[in-house]
Amino acid sequence: MSTCNSSRAKKRSGLDSLLRIGATGLVLACALAAQETALDQASSVKIDLPADSPLTLLSSSMGESRATSRGGALVLDLHMGLTLRNGGTRHVRGVTLLITAQEFAPGGKGSVARPSIDVPPGQTFTVPVDIRLVRPVQQTAGPLVRVQLDGVLFDDLSFFGPNKLNSQRALTFWETEAQRDRAYYKQALQARGERGLREEMLASMGRNDRPQLDVSLSRNGRSTGAAAAAIPDHVAQFAFLNLPGAPVQPVEGWAAISGNEARSPQIEIVNQSGKPVRYVEIGWLVRDKQGHEYLAGSVPASESAMVLPAGQHAKLLQDTALKFSRTGRPVEIEGMTGFVSQVEFADGHVWVPSRQEINSSPLLRIMAPSPEEQRLADIYAKKGLAALIAELNRY
Amino acid sequence: MHQSEHPSEKDLALLAGGDTGRWRRFTLDRHVDRCSECQAKLAEYRDLRAELVAADELPGVNWSSLEAEMRANIHVGFEAGECVREARAGRSWNWPAWKPLTAGPRLAMAMACLLVVACAGYFLRRSVDGIFGLSQDRAQMAARSLPTAGGSAVGVAAGGVAAGEDAVLESSNTGLELRSGGGSLMLLSHQGAIAHQTVSAEGEIRARYVDGEAGTVTINNVYLQ
């Protein structure tokens, strides 16, 4: 044909074949990569609330939750929403849910907490569950995921729940911090007016840009990389930041250092209060060779090991390794600082650093804001100063 | 251009009536766009179709006899196919019989695509198996170490400490990731939200963010064991 060029037609024919092969390959690859199924609520999820729970389940939605089979594992992407009703007589201030796909292995268990809420009796609230878990494909029959209530904290700091995850302690600490921060911002409003409160909020939002480290956490104090293993260990001592009001003071502490990895921290403490203590947590700062300080993590007392009478010493030991990096580069550890961040007394009362102690120390620019401070700053950013003042006046 | 490169009359007729599949229509359109002869034929078919539609009537057809004729043709086609198959069965799998399949780069491309698919499948499987192969072994170890099957979760966690000894939890500005045995799995993704993450040397990482709509704080915890 005069208008059909032979070589061009051959090229097109070849292109057609390539397109067909490519499309077929793509379809096969997608089929292999994503054997996804939407999770059915009735058969996939079991939501367990104790019979005498002050919270009742009104409804739940599975959203875009799905299960993806990959080899011998089932990856569960949960995007659920649980609507709960406060059937008790007190205001709910916090709740924790335990989410389990398999009990004993990494990635099989998670939890979702909702602190800093105020739910009056009879009112409802929603807890979002956005988490990914993994479990064996061939695990025994039954629901894929179990959602359990681990605890509810009320406005009088009383608690209900099995407390498997020590939710009572965590929720009580968060509520104590919330009361502290609301009082601080109310005082700022009274003393310095709206301008003073606005300045405090802007300062809080500015601290969101504080430097953060990427942290790898592994058990048994084992090295998490070949590079760390090649560098000989040395034992480095903690320096301590003493907060005057802390009922417990750190005495001395060490950790094994290999380059950017710190292992098996141990810290000796003394109870300077007149009351027995059952839990202490030490905040852990690291300093790099350029002198920058970062909040690396925390060293808590190990489970059930601690009942520290007044005036007595004890050691906090954790057999873990933390490896630090920033923007993909290892952060060589030049120094470490510890400070007491939380104390729980045997009677259930808790201590957290005061705002004055935080503001007058380097902690202000290093520590993450409390959940309540984060929430109040979010209200200010999204709804303005009037909404923030109204929120503070609710309490 | 060779005559064989042109689409058949049947294809052009089907194209004119919009009765081809998507892929076939795509390839036919590409040819017709460049071929004036086929454009002319296609125009003729379309004109003819328009005339039939305008006439709004079908020629007198004896549908019963047409059906019988079609059935007979189908049977003949099947039998002819059987004859050809028997003849082919007697031949060895020699080069001329397979030439159309092996000629050119098509087979190489097909093999390459299959290789890519197989590799992708292997790595996708490995990424989670790396985590999970370990998990199942450790789970059995941990289960054996439990004093009772119904022990509390705290007891379970203590028994299951060995379960996570090779696993690494990673906290970064993109989310929380679990690594083990060369595999990795993102457990929490921040998806652009500002999140505060805290690492506990006890084997737990917390990620905290404010829910955009409700303005409430949610804290997600993941555990090493």
Instruction: Choose the closest CB to A208 out of B194, B216, B224.
Output: B194
Instruction: Determine the residue of chain A that is closest to B32 in CA distance.
Output: A4
Instruction: Answer whether B189's CB lies under 8 Å from B205's CB.
Output: no
First to last CA, chain A: 87
Alpha-carbon Rg of chain B, whole angstroms? 34
Instruction: Please name the residue that has the structure tokens 């059935």.
Output: B71
Instruction: Answer whether A346's CB lies under 8 Å from A274's CB.
Output: no
Return the pLDDT at B153: 26
pTM: 0.68
Which residues are CB-neighbours of A251 under 8 A, at least 6 positions away? A268, A269, A270, A313
The alpha-carbon gap from B44 to the nearest alpha carbon of chain A, in Å, equals: 18
Q: A252 pLDDT exceeds 90?
A: yes
CA atoms of A165 and A98, how far apart (whole Å): 8
CA atoms of B117 and B130, how far apart (whole Å): 20
Closest CA to B206 of A170, A147, A168, A159: A170
Closest CA to A63 of A40, A34, A33, A97: A40
Q: What percentage of chain A reaches a pLDDT higher than 70?
A: 86
B134-153 residues touching A, CB cutoff 8 A: 134-136, 138-139, 142-143, 152-153
C-alpha angle with apex A53: A278 to A86, nearest 5 degrees? 105
Q: A32 pLDDT exceeds 70?
A: no
The alpha-carbon gap from A372 to the nearest alpha carbon of chain B, in Å, equals: 8
Q: Do domains A35-165 and A214-368 have the same CATH topology?
A: yes
CA atoms of A97 and A126, how far apart (whole Å): 12
- Assign domain A35-165 to its CATH architecture: Sandwich (2.60)
- CA dihedral for A14, A20, A24, A26, sign (positive or negative): positive
Return the pLDDT at B85: 57
Tell me the chain B residues in contact with residue A17 when contact means C-beta distances shorter than 8 Å: 106, 109
Helix, strand, coil: what percent of chain B each, to 5? 60, 15, 25
Return the pLDDT at B94: 45
Q: Amino acid letter at A30?
A: C
Q: A213 pLDDT exceeds 70?
A: yes
Instruction: Give tens-digit pLDDT for A279-324.
Output: 999 999 999 988 989 888 888 887 665 789 999 999 888 888 899 9
Tell me the chain B residues in contact with residue A161 when contact means C-beta distances shorter than 8 Å: none
- Check CB contact under 8 Å for A111 and B220: yes
The alpha-carbon gap from A43 to the nearest alpha carbon of chain B, in Å, equals: 23
Instruction: Answer whether B41's CB lies under 8 Å from B9's CB.
Output: yes
Task: Provide the pLDDT confidence category of residue A9 given band limits of 50, 70 and 90.
Answer: low
| Mean of pLDDT values over A355-369 | 88
Instruction: Answer whether B131's CB lies under 8 Å from A134's CB.
Output: yes
A251 touches chain B (CB under 8 A): no
Q: Where are the domains of chain A?
A: 35-165, 171-208+373-393, 214-368
Instruction: Choose the closest CB to A297 out of B106, B198, B219.
Output: B198
Mean pLDDT over the full length of chain A: 86
A274 touches chain B (CB under 8 A): no
- Check CB contact under 8 Å for B219 and A109: no
Instruction: Answer whether A82's CB lies under 8 Å from A127's CB.
Output: yes
Reported residue count of chain A is 395
Query: In B146-169, where does DSSP find H-type helix?
Result: 153-159
Instruction: Answer whether A257's CB lies under 8 Å from A320's CB.
Output: no
Instruction: Answer whether B112's CB lies under 8 Å from B166's CB.
Output: no
Partnered with residue A110 across adjacent β-strands are A99, B222
Tell me the chain B residues in contact with residue A140 when contact means C-beta distances shorter than 8 Å: none
Question: What ipTM does the predicted assembly reach?
Answer: 0.74
Task: Provide the pLDDT confidence category of residue A210 given band limits of 50, 70 and 90.
Answer: confident
Instruction: Choose the closest CB to B170 out of A208, A216, A296.
Output: A216
Q: Are strands A261-271 and A248-258 parallel, antiparallel or unpaired?
A: antiparallel
CA atoms of A375 and B215, how far apart (whole Å): 7
| Mean of pLDDT values over A28-34 | 53
Instruction: Please name the residue that has the structure tokens 């079991």.
Output: A46
Return the pLDDT at B200: 82
The phi, psi pair for A246, rounded to 5°, reads: -70, 130
Highest mean pLDDT among A22-36, A103-117, A219-233, A381-395: A381-395
The alpha-carbon gap from B54 to the nearest alpha carbon of chain A, in Å, equals: 33
- Check CB contact under 8 Å for B208 and A374: yes
Instruction: Choose the closest CB to B135 out of A106, A220, A298.
Output: A106
Q: Are strands A73-86 and A55-61 parallel, antiparallel or unpaired?
A: antiparallel
- Check CB contact under 8 Å for A134 and B210: no
- Check CB contact under 8 Å for A219 and B167: yes
B55 touches chain A (CB under 8 A): no
- Check CB contact under 8 Å for A113 and B221: yes
Instruction: Give tens-digit pLDDT for A155-203.
Output: 999 999 999 988 999 999 999 999 999 999 999 999 999 999 999 999 9
Return the pLDDT at A53: 95
Tell me the chain B residues in contact with residue A117 when contact means C-beta distances shorter than 8 Å: 216
Tell me the chain A residues in contact with residue B34 when contact means C-beta distances shorter than 8 Å: 3-4, 8
A206 CB burial (10 A radius; 0-12, 13-18, 19+): exposed
CA atoms of B200 and A324, how far apart (whole Å): 14
Tell me the chain B residues in contact with residue A1 when contact means C-beta distances shorter than 8 Å: 1, 3, 6, 35, 37
**Number of DSSP helices (H) and strands (E) in chain A, helices first:** 8, 21
List the single best residue of B156, B180, B196 to mutate versus A (max A Cβ within 10 A).
B196
Task: Provide the pLDDT confidence category of residue A115 given band limits of 50, 70 and 90.
Answer: very high
Q: A71 pLDDT exceeds 80?
A: no
The phi, psi pair for B183, rounded to 5°, reads: -100, 165
Instruction: Choose the closest CB to B217 out of A115, A217, A318.
Output: A115
Instruction: Answer whether A44's CB lies under 8 Å from A145's CB.
Output: yes
The alpha-carbon gap from B67 to the nearest alpha carbon of chain A, in Å, equals: 36
CA atoms of A63 and A71, how far apart (whole Å): 25
Instruction: Answer whether A66's CB lies under 8 Å from A77's CB.
Output: yes
Which residues are CB-neighbours of B148 under 8 A, at least 6 positions away? none
A237 touches chain B (CB under 8 A): no
Return the pLDDT at A121: 97
B187-206 residues touching A, CB cutoff 8 A: 187-188, 194, 196-203, 205
Q: Amino acid letter at A157?
A: L
Closest CA to A51 of A133, A132, A149: A149
Widest Cα–Cα separation across chain A: 104
Mean pLDDT, consecutive 10-residue stretches, chain B (225 aa), reads 69 85 85 90 87 63 70 72 55 47 66 77 54 45 30 25 59 78 71 69 79 74 76
Return the pLDDT at A24: 60
The CA–CA distances, whole Å, from A359 to A197, A203, A363, A364 equal 15, 12, 7, 5
Fold of A214-368: Immunoglobulin-like (2.60.40)
For the CA atoms of A139, A142, A147, A151, the dihedral, rounded to the nearest 10 degrees, stands at: -100
3-state SS assignment for residue A352: coil
* Higher local confidence (pLDDT), B75 or A266: A266
Return the pLDDT at A178: 95
A29 touches chain B (CB under 8 A): yes
Highest mean pLDDT among A35-49, A58-72, A79-93: A79-93
CA atoms of A131 and A136, how far apart (whole Å): 17
